A and B are shown apart, each in its own frame.
Chain A
Amino acid sequence: MKKFLFLSTLLFGVLFFSACKDEEETKDPGTLEVNFDNIAVINNVQQQLSLVTPGSTDYAYTNALGQKFNINLLRYYISAIELDGPNGEHYHDHMEATASGSKGYYLVDESIPASQLILLEDIPAGEYNKITFTVGVDSSGVVNGASGGSLDPATCHMFWNWNSGYIAVKYEGQSDVSNGGVSGAETVTGDNPHGMAYHIGGWKDIPGGVFVYNNKRLSLTFDTVVKVESKEAPELHMVFDVIKMFGSHHNIDFTGNHNVHKPADGVEVAHNLEHAFAYDHIHQ
């Protein structure tokens, strides 16, 4: 009997402690809310963007060349998001592109606040200090044919028919130095005397090919770690600076080609995207 009690106690103890140990090690997966805040940094101060009515000559922003401009429309795709942590944590967002819908392709539109908030779910619990994402839609969203949801070619207003594929970043607006003459734009017509359209696309990432690839895969590191688990509701704030889009690697001259509708014409703006997107802060 004593022996039985002893064994029972031992068995109970082993079960009890192993249960505790499990509980400590496996926290439940959590979420991360990723915000894309579109801003303009003016005199080192971040300002939230404000959109204007098409044709407006009210210019709130100035590019690196001192040319004034405003914004009617700003829209871009963020896709294939991954998170990494200092201890080997890794998460990649689920991707899907079918007629019924698409997952993992987010269309961020300055005029639609809800579109600027991306909720990542089912992230393995842990600490993360790096986000990686594609600006644009790569071949995964194109080669299998027409898809729904954010990729729906009838509703996304980001699809090029003639060179089938998705525009990565679409800007439309006015500059006082632009002489207009824009074609094929959503908010700017040819008779808008100061209109500008920069439609940045080109998704054919074909090795050895001649195609211009303007999607950008960016990795941005945080100045701290974000803790993810079921009991937390952290927020990650990313920013997209329109001033840097038009002036970082290259200073975009609005007196030059301001009617950009093909990959080769968008290379410099696409290159600037590397600086336009930045990590800003985390709310734990």
Chain B
Amino acid sequence: MGKRIFGDPMLSRDNSVACNNCHVKAVAFADPQHALSLGVDERQGIRNAPGIANMAFMKEFMWDGGVYHLDFAPPNAIENPLEMDEKMAKVVWKLNRNSTYPAQFRAAFPEMGDTITSPFVLLALSQYQTMLVSATSKYDYYKLGKGELSANEMEGLQLFKQKCAVCHSGELFTNQEYRNNGLDTAFADEGRARITESAADLCKLKVPSLRNVELTDPYMHDARFNTLEEVLDHYAAGVKQSATLATELHQGDFIGIPLTASEKKLIVDFLKTLTDYEFIQDERF
């Protein structure tokens, strides 16, 4: 049922936009068509729609981490005028008037009572999203001892561990923290500071998971890079100094991450092993 709601444009004001318009399964639930996703009336959002995978293991949600529990993520898209521009209360009203949803809800949630209420809608969406676990990539099979990486991919993995894994750490490839990665000197997006209201967090954004990163282009919160090569070029030679720049990108006199052309290529080879074809083809999703 969560899957059904996720794909239902009834969630938007004019019944035109569903969650899966901008979170498309074929690209690990990111947006393949628009750098900044389009909502009702073709209105353009302010940040790139991130992929949805392994949500069950995340502490906070959205680029700025303003959402503290997965249940509270969908209302941001539903009620945002630039996205679905609908009121949660209206969504609940539409669901209750539908010919099949009420019975489906009552069967799924015996404790609910006769009428659909918003917490159960949000629970259904959360349950669907927590099902979306990506853990069957080439890299995962290598880790499980059930597959191998090529020599280049192995070399890329070693380089990645040395140069990237301080932030993109662990098996989710994110430390789940917020960093300014030196995109600009002046801040167009206040980022994490919008939530903490602290100048020390200006322009810091969530370190994204890199699972399925090959599929989730374009990159960065404002979708400025189209390819992984451009991203690595940025870290190698494009990082800009500012007051809140990540200390990880400012070691000694060097700003950024020292990377040669061949190292960049090897890291991209490794990143592509995180693509999970079983995940994006899973019939259940």
Minimum CB–CB distance from A130 to chain B (whole Å) comes to: 32
Minimum CB–CB distance from B221 to chain A (whole Å) comes to: 15
Closest to A102 in B: B119
A155–B76 alpha-carbon span in the complex (Å): 15
Segment among A4-12, A43-51, A158-166, A217-225 that sits at the interface with chain B: A158-166
- Assess the B195–A145 pair: CB atoms within 8 A: no
Q: A14 within 8 Å of B by Cβ?
A: no
- Assess the A162–B76 pair: CB atoms within 8 A: yes
A138–B60 alpha-carbon span in the complex (Å): 17
- If A210-B198, A262-B197 touch, whether A164 touches B122 (CB-CB below 8 Å) is no
Closest to A204 in B: B68
Q: In this complex, which of A142, A164, A211 has the most chain B Cβ atoms within 10 angstroms of its Cβ? A: A164
- Assess the B123–A146 pair: CB atoms within 8 A: yes
Contacts of B87 in A (CB 8 A): 154
Q: B92 within 8 Å of A by Cβ?
A: yes
Contacts of A96 in B (CB 8 A): none
Q: How many residues of B contact A (CB 8 A)?
A: 34
Please encode chain B, from 184 to 198, with 1 for each CB lying within 8 Å of some chain A CB and 0 for all others: 000000000011111
Closest to A147 in B: B119
Q: B89 within 8 Å of A by Cβ?
A: yes
- If A162-B66, A164-B69, A165-B68 touch, whether A148 touches B117 (CB-CB below 8 Å) is yes
Contact of A145 among B66, B69, B80, B194 (CB under 8 A): B69
Minimum CB–CB distance from A138 to chain B (whole Å) comes to: 13
Contacts of A143 in B (CB 8 A): 68-69
Interface residues on A, range: 20 to 34
Q: In this complex, which of A145, A146, A153, A159 has the most chain B Cβ atoms within 10 angstroms of its Cβ? A: A146
Minimum CB–CB distance from A135 to chain B (whole Å) comes to: 20
- Assess the A145–B123 pair: CB atoms within 8 A: yes
- If A145-B123, A153-B75, A210-B197 touch, whether A164 touches B118 (CB-CB below 8 Å) is no
Interface of chain B: mostly helix, strand, loop or mixed: helix
Q: B72 within 8 Å of A by Cβ?
A: yes
- Assess the A99–B69 pair: CB atoms within 8 A: no
Q: A144 within 8 Å of B by Cβ?
A: yes
Contacts of B75 in A (CB 8 A): 153, 159, 161
Contacting A at CB under 8 A, from B126-158, are 126
Contacts of B79 in A (CB 8 A): 161
- Assess the A212–B118 pair: CB atoms within 8 A: no
- Assess the B76–A161 pair: CB atoms within 8 A: yes
Closest to B73 in A: A164
Contacting A at CB under 8 A, from B38-67, are 66-67
A162–B81 alpha-carbon span in the complex (Å): 13
- If A154-B87, A154-B92 touch, whether A146 touches B72 (CB-CB below 8 Å) is yes
Closest to A151 in B: B119
- Assess the B71–A154 pair: CB atoms within 8 A: no
Minimum CB–CB distance from B243 to chain A (whole Å) comes to: 16
- Assess the A146–B197 pair: CB atoms within 8 A: no
Please encode chain B, from 109 to 127, with 1 for each CB lying within 8 Å of some chain A CB and 0 for all others: 1011100011110110010
Closest to A159 in B: B75
A139–B72 alpha-carbon span in the complex (Å): 14
Please encode chain A, from 145 to 189, with 1 for each CB lying within 8 Å of some chain B CB and 0 for all others: 111100011110001011111000000000000000000000000
Contacts of B72 in A (CB 8 A): 145-146, 153, 161, 164
Q: B70 within 8 Å of A by Cβ?
A: yes
A133–B240 alpha-carbon span in the complex (Å): 49
- Assess the A164–B68 pair: CB atoms within 8 A: yes
Minimum CB–CB distance from A100 to chain B (whole Å) comes to: 5
Please encode chain B, from 79 to 112, with 1 for each CB lying within 8 Å of some chain A CB and 0 for all others: 1100000011101100000000000000001011
Q: In this complex, which of B87, B88, B111, B118 has the most chain A Cβ atoms within 10 angstroms of its Cβ? A: B118
A162–B60 alpha-carbon span in the complex (Å): 12
Closest to B78 in A: A161
Between-chain CB contacts (< 8 Å), 20 pairs: A99-B112, A99-B123, A142-B68, A144-B69, A145-B119, A146-B69, A146-B126, A148-B117, A148-B118, A153-B118, A155-B89, A155-B118, A161-B67, A161-B75, A161-B76, A161-B79, A163-B66, A164-B66, A164-B69, A211-B197
B residues apposed to A, CB below 8 Å: 66-72, 75-76, 79-80, 87-89, 91-92, 109, 111-113, 117-120, 122-123, 126, 194-198, 200-201
